[in-house]
Amino acid sequence: MMNRFNHLPTLKVDTTQKIAFIYKGKKHYGVKGDTVATALYANGIRIFARSLKYHRPRGLYSLDGECSNTCMEVDGIPNVRCENTLLEDGMVIKEQNVKGSAENDYMSFLDKLDWLMPAGFYYNVMHKPAKIWPIAMKQIRKAAGLGKISPDYEMPGKFDEVFLNTDVCVIGGGPAGMMAALSSAQKGLRVILMESRPWLGGFFEYRSGQYKDRQALHERALFLANEVAAHENIRSFTSTSAVGTYNNNLVTGFQIGKKEDVFDQRYIEIRAKSVVAAAGCIERPLIFDNNERPGVMQIACALRLAKTYGLLPGKKAVFSIGHDLGLEAALELHDLGLAISCVADIREDGHDPELLKKIEDKKIPLLKGWVATKAHGSKLVNKISLASVDGLVSKSFDCDLVVASAGITPVTGHITVAQGTLKYDNHTGCFLPDQMPEKMHAAGRVLGLNDPLSVEASGTLAGLQAAFDCENCSIQEIGEARKALENLPGPVRGTKLVTAPVKGRKSFICFDEDATIKNIKQAIEKGFDVPELIKRFTATGLGPGQGGIPGHNLPLYVAKYQTLPDVSIRPTNVRPPLVPTLISTYAGVNHKMFKITPMDEMQRKDGGIFRNLGVWQRARYFSNDLTCKKEIENVRSNVGMLDGSTLGKFRIHGSDALKALQRVFVSDMSKVKQGRVKYSAMCNDDGCVIDDGVVVKQGENDYYFTTSSGRAGQTVEWIRYHTRYDGWTFALVNLTDSLGVINLSGPNARKVLEKVVDIDISNEAFGYSEYKEFKIQDTVQTRAMRLGFVGELSYELHVPSSYVKAVWLMLNEAGKEFNIKNFGVEAQNVLRMEKCHIILGQESEQRTNLLDLGLGFLWDRNKTEAKTVGAVALRQAENDQTRLKLVGFKTENNTRAPRDGALVVDEKVRGYICTARDSFSLNEAVGMALVEGELSKIGTRLEIYEDECGDDRIYGKVVKMPFYDPEGTRMKM
């Protein structure tokens, strides 16, 4: 294990606390605060993985997870971004995308075959002859993708979610973000601050340069972080990456939990009135040959390895940089003991003179106008070639570390995802925000600023602009803040160099997808002349890092290679999630929210097998016999109990209640008599049936009606919508959950019920299609209906939900002597099908109208003044012979029933099976189907096609409906 610095004030690791982990089967140690990547680095691991296409060795590069270089398998989870994942005790870490090991990968020969794989090769070379493609495709798919996961893999861990509201959301916890948060919070606003690293401070936090008045930048970072923490209006979320920004300032992100948190990761959704985008900058990769060889890393990576994690990144280094941060890093690392052979700076001039003097004082060789051209070493860097930027002169240095960076590039994903636009800035050489989305403000290095005071001042300004959006700040205050910023140094000049003077065969522009400069040239030569097309042809930027590595360089290179007069083209679009994370994090807690009926507990005790049906959980079966034979036979011959509580139930009352009913029901509802039940249906404007149910009159202008379970949630809105211009007075209340429904059915139903109620329920006193209200045991107010949905003597008891258990138990007790049994939804489905009673959605789909179902008798054509919904369309459909008709059928030769949804065919599709079952009551297979009119005649032979049946068909014959008890004597008994 490498020695660590333990004296630096910027350290975020505790070197006294060791953490054990397993890498390739062996125990290693990191320290508290290490990421997986830094712990591996501290243990001398330099090759973390192999690249996607060429299996090139890959190592630490950005330390911020900007590319897939350090994606590894951790505790069985592939593609874990090791630079962003804190080390935990006992972690098991494995390499991925290797055959053999990362050190010795048998597939590394592919790197030499790059000439066989030009840009878009799979579009070109494997299609002729066409028979090659299936073979090639298999091999490509085997090789493609990073990491392996089983399809039935269950993600371990705890996932949470939180939905936040705030006035101002600040993305980025660097100096600009913190200043923005403070200035908004000081205006009394609620502020949320999101920072992807585990601490606040941004690019101040690891640097020792001077902020002001001898205060170091890291001291300033700490000061601001403390200010933020102390402000009660600011909620800071560290280890939290913003992954999406949307309309109306919806910001999404995820937070990585600490050990003491109740979550490993949690999804965060923030609704803000205003957003400040202050995510800072990343470095623009320097493009030269083998620019991703382990040992080559960015400036901040090398510096943070030392200053944050206490690890000297190498022994002997060469710097190839294009920004003052490179000089600053060289000085700091030199002071920490890194031997620096040379600093090659792309710039000829424009350096910070103070830094130049220090470089000179420390005798660090500086080459102005020079750049790295090639990293040498088969697996790790052991030498670097440098050349003047015009390529005329060259030099080589032995080294084990190359610190390389072309400059900086703003992190603008949060702006562009929210539809903000960027514009190339000739001074900084960066793509800077042009048009900002509404109520979003950029601050800090995103604007190209570099001076610490300017960065902070821009944060203050953005915070006030956000406060203005929240109507808590004056124009004058904003004007003053803007003036203060203008009096400070503006953006610094940036380098324009796109690539070192190399051919580019091994100069990588996108690490994730192994895309080289040569590939880009190939794409352009094929006519793909803009980055969005090149991205798709070469896969550049399609990896998990999206635009992190190639984002800035690609448009610059495309402009240069085509000798465009200016950089008018833009970086490719990035999309959420801007930072990759687990799908489990998006799933969050995933509470299953279903409704249960008041009989749920008793039915489960009785062995009910439940299924999710719409918003409800219902008992579908009461045994493992999914044909429900015993349940069905019990209802036909004895007595059964069904839970019908999911039915929609409504009260409509008030002086215009009847008018509203007339509007939405097809029947003449003025004919609903007290004490009687009326069955009717509702249609939509197309005459298609949307609902059916029964209506009873409870009193003057007071009705109670039921709807199907699936439509109950929409019924109030439906009726209100269709009466919205009438100014009618009525109250409409959804009582679906208020009342449980027990359906007591079978020839012995009366015998059971009469033991429980005190009223006369003989057929004469309480006949078929009648309605009664009574109390059970002087307590339970009950609405009772004589219905016959299952085709037997039936009582539907509507009971207040809290009393349902009591009534259920009474009926069970009363039914003991008859051996009363439960029956479930499937048994009911068969029973009613035998009787040819329809269920909407089963015997209908959204185009099925009232007439198609044979329910035209419900429609009262004479109540034109009611303007019944759907009546106009029904009139037009009356003579339409092309519509499907509902028919009953029996299968030929007593073959089994076809599956629901099977097609009725001849040369073409002529209809479909709605419901069909092997009927135990009839001893044959019967069903209902929607078929074209000409097939609806009695006796027509139906040819039925099931999925994957081949040439085997089931044949049926159209017969009269209903199949069971056609006279209806059993339900009227």
Residues that bind other proteins (CB under 8 A): 160-165, 190, 262, 269, 271, 589, 591-598, 600, 615-616, 651, 653-654, 727, 729, 731-739, 777, 779-780, 800-806
**Token duo for residue 594:** 């279903």
Q: Which is nearer to other proteins, 533 or 759 (CB)?
A: 759
Alpha-carbon distance 450 to 444, whole Å?
A: 8
Q: Judged by CB, which is closer to other proteins: 241, or 736?
A: 736
Sole residue written with tokens 């085509």:
562
Q: How far is the CB of 729 from other proteins (least distance, A)?
A: 6
Question: How many residues does the structure list for the chain?
Answer: 973
Nearer to other proteins, 735 or 873 (CB): 735
Cα–Cα distance for residue pair 49/72, rounded to 1 Å = 7
For residues 877 and 856, what is the distance between their CA atoms, to the nearest angstrom?
A: 11
Residue 823 CB, shortest distance to other proteins, in Å, is: 21
Nearer to other proteins, 600 or 918 (CB): 600
**Pair 275, 192: CB distance under 8 Å:** no
Residue with smaller CB distance to other proteins, 22 or 735: 735
Q: Find tokens 């030099």 and name the residue.
A: 395
Closest by CA position to 708, among listed 614, 814, 823 = 614
Q: Please state the separation of Cα 54 from the chain's center in Å.
A: 32
CB 351 → other proteins: shortest distance, Å? 49
In the bound state with other proteins, the residue whose beta carbon lies nearer, of 135 and 733, is 733
**Cβ-count burial 399-409 (b if 16+ within 10 Å, e if not):** bbbbbbbbbbb
For Cα atoms 635, 637, 641, give the angle at the middle one, nearest 5 degrees.
Answer: 25
Shortest distance (Å) from residue 808 CB to other proteins: 10
* Residue that is written with structure tokens 């994090």 in the block: 585
Residue 7 or 591 with smaller CB distance to other proteins: 591
Report the alpha-carbon distance of residue 411 to residue 300 in Å, rounded.
Answer: 15
> Residue 262 has what DSSP assignment?
S
* CB contact at 8 A, 251 and 242: yes
Tokens of 110: 């592919």
The torsion of the CA quartet 775, 780, 781, 783, rounded to 10 degrees, works out to: -80
Question: Among 760, 664, 680, which Cα is nearest to 715's?
Answer: 664
3-state SS string over 728-740?
CCCEEEECCCCEE
**Shortest Cβ distance from residue 722 to other proteins (Å)?**
16
Gap between the terminal Cα atoms of the chain: 90
Nearer to other proteins, 360 or 700 (CB): 700
User: Which residue's CB is nearer to other proteins, number 130 or number 262?
Assistant: 262
Minimum distance from residue 179 beta carbon to other proteins (Å) = 23
State in angstroms the smallest separation of the CB of 733 from other proteins. 4
What's the closest the beta carbon of residue 256 comes to other proteins, in angstroms? 16
User: What's the DSSP call for residue 100?
Assistant: B
The residue (of 350 and 614) whose beta carbon lies closer to other proteins is 614
**From the CB of 818, what's the least distance to other proteins, in Å?**
20
In the complex, the smallest distance separating the C-beta of residue 805 from other proteins, rounded to whole angstroms, is 5
Q: Which helix (H) or strand (E) holds 871?
A: helix 871-877
In the bound state with other proteins, the residue whose beta carbon lies nearer, of 226 and 729, is 729
Minimum distance from CB of 734 to other proteins (Å)? 7
Smallest gap from residue 467 Cβ to other proteins (A): 14
CA distances from 4 to 1, 30, 408 (A): 9, 11, 29
DSSP 287: B
Q: Are 283 and 299 in contact (CB under 8 A)?
A: yes
Q: For other proteins, give the closer residue by CB, 71 or 739.
A: 739
Measured from the CB atom, is 261 or 900 closer to other proteins? 261
- Within 10 Å of residue 839's Cβ, how many Cβ atoms? 19
Q: How far is the CB of 807 from other proteins (least distance, A)?
A: 9
Picking from 470, 475, 452, 457, the residue whose alpha carbon sits closest to that of residue 233 is: 470
Q: Which is nearer to other proteins, 38 or 708 (CB)?
A: 708
Structure tokens belonging to residue 160: 């949470």
| The two three-digit tokens of residue 449, written as one number | 């600023």
Could you count the other beta carbons within 10 Å of the beta carbon of residue 83? 23
Closest CB to other proteins among 62 and 617? 617
Query: Please, what is the minimum distance in Å from the beta carbon of residue 180 to other proteins?
Result: 20
Q: Which is nearer to other proteins, 4 or 618 (CB)?
A: 618
- In whole angstroms, what is the distance from residue 581 CA to residue 267 CA? 10
Q: In whole angstroms, what is the distance from residue 139 CA to residue 496 CA?
A: 41
What is the spatial order of strands in the sheet that 14-23 belongs to? 26-32, 14-23, 91-94, 71-74, 77-81
* Number of CB atoms found within 10 A of residue 16's CB: 8
Q: What is the DSSP string of 660-700?
A: HHHHHBSS-GGGPPTTB-EEEEEE-TTSBEEEEEEEEEEET
CA dist 290 and 293 (Å) reads 5
Q: How far apart are CA 42 and CA 891, in angstroms?
A: 76
**Residues paired with residue 515 on neighbouring β-strands, in sequence order:** 510
How near is the Cβ of 718 to other proteins at its closest, in Å?
16
CB of residue 165 vs other proteins: minimum separation in angstroms? 4
> Is 116 or 593 the residue whose CB approaches other proteins more closely?
593
> Quick one: 751 or 805, whose CB is closer to other proteins?
805
Identify the bridge partners of residue 269 per DSSP, sorted by sequence position.
163, 252
Minimum distance of other proteins from residue 259's CB (angstroms): 14
| CB of residue 618 to other proteins, shortest distance in Å | 11
**Amino acid (one-letter) located at 872:** V
Q: Does an H or E element contain 493, and which?
A: none
